[in-house]
Chains A and B, each alone.
Chain A
Amino acid sequence: GENVEQHPSTLSVQEGDSAVIKCTYSDSASNYFPWYKQELGKGPQLIIDIRSNVGEKKDQRIAVTLNKTAKHFSLHITETQPEDSAVYFCAASNPLGGQNFVFGPGTRLSVLP
C-alpha cells in the first residue's frame, strides 16, 4: 500500500521568511496530492492540492510542486505570517484506483514574529 513520508517534523521560521515542507510517496499510481492545515483543536483545512497532470500550482502565498519521477511533492509558503503557524499534512491518493487518502505524519510550523 501507499506510504507517505513528510519532512521536517518541526519547522521554525522568522515572519516574512519562506517555509518549505517536503513529502515523498511510494505508490507511483497516486495521482492526487492535497495539503491540509490544522490549527489547534480544529479539523484539517484544505489549503491547496495538485493533480498528477501538472507540475506546479500557486495560490497567492502558497505553492505546491510535484515531481512524479522522483515521487515527491513540496509545499512552499512565502512571506510567512504568525497566523500560518499550524500543523501541515500532505496526503497522496489514487481515487480511481480505489486508494483513499494516505496522510503524512505532519509538520509543525512556527512563524516567529
Chain B
Amino acid sequence: EAEVAQSPRYKITEKSQAVAFWCDPISGHATLYWYRQILGQGPELLVQFQDESVVDDSQLPKDRFSAERLKGVDSTLKIQPAELGDSAMYLCASSPAGLARPYEQYFGPGTRLTVT
C-alpha cells in the first residue's frame, strides 16, 4: 500500500538554528500539504501545493518558514531561525485530485520537532 514518506521522524534543534523537513507524497498525487500539529490539538494547514505551485500559504509564517516543491513531486519545509514555539509535529499529506474536487488527504507519519 502506497504511503506518504517523511524524514526525519524526530529532530531536536537549538533555537536560532535552521531545520528542514522532507516529504515524498504518494506517487501520482498532485496536491501536497504541510500541516503543523501542536500537542493536544488538531492539525493546522501551513501550505498547499498543486504540482509545483503554491495554492495556499496564508497561514505560513513567511518571515521564518519556507516551502518548496521544485519538480512537483517531493517537498521540503524549512524553518530559519527556529524558535521555542515551533516545537510541534509537522505532518505532510497528499491528495490525488486537483483543486476542483473534494478529495481525501493521506498523511505521512510526521516529523516531531523539539526546539531547545
The chain A residues found within 8 Å of chain B, CB to CB, are 4, 31-32, 34, 36, 41-46, 49, 51, 89, 91, 93-96, 98, 100-101, 103-106
Contacts and interface: CB of A to CB of B under 8 A. Distances in A.
Chief secondary structure at chain B's binding surface: loop
B42 A43 contact: no
Given A95-B99, A100-B48, A100-B56, A46 B105 contact: yes
B100 A89 contact: no
B43 A93 contact: no
A106 B37 CA distance: 11
Contacts, number: 59
A95 B42 contact: no
Contacts of A51: 102
B74 to A, nearest CB: 16
A36 B44 CA distance: 14
Nearest to B89: A43
Q: Chain B, interface size: which category? A: 20 to 34
B102 A93 contact: yes
Interface of B: 4, 6, 33, 40-45, 48, 56, 91, 93, 99-110, 112
A105 B100 contact: no
Given A44-B91, A44-B107, A100-B48, A105 B102 contact: no
Contacts of B105: 34, 46, 101
B9 to A, nearest CB: 9
8 contacts: A43-B6, A43-B108, A46-B104, A51-B102, A91-B42, A96-B102, A103-B43, A105-B41
Q: For the complex of A and B, list the 8 residue pairs with the smallest distance between their C-beta atoms, beginning with the closest.
A: A103-B42, A43-B107, A32-B102, A95-B102, A44-B107, A43-B109, A43-B110, A89-B42
B15 to A, nearest CB: 24
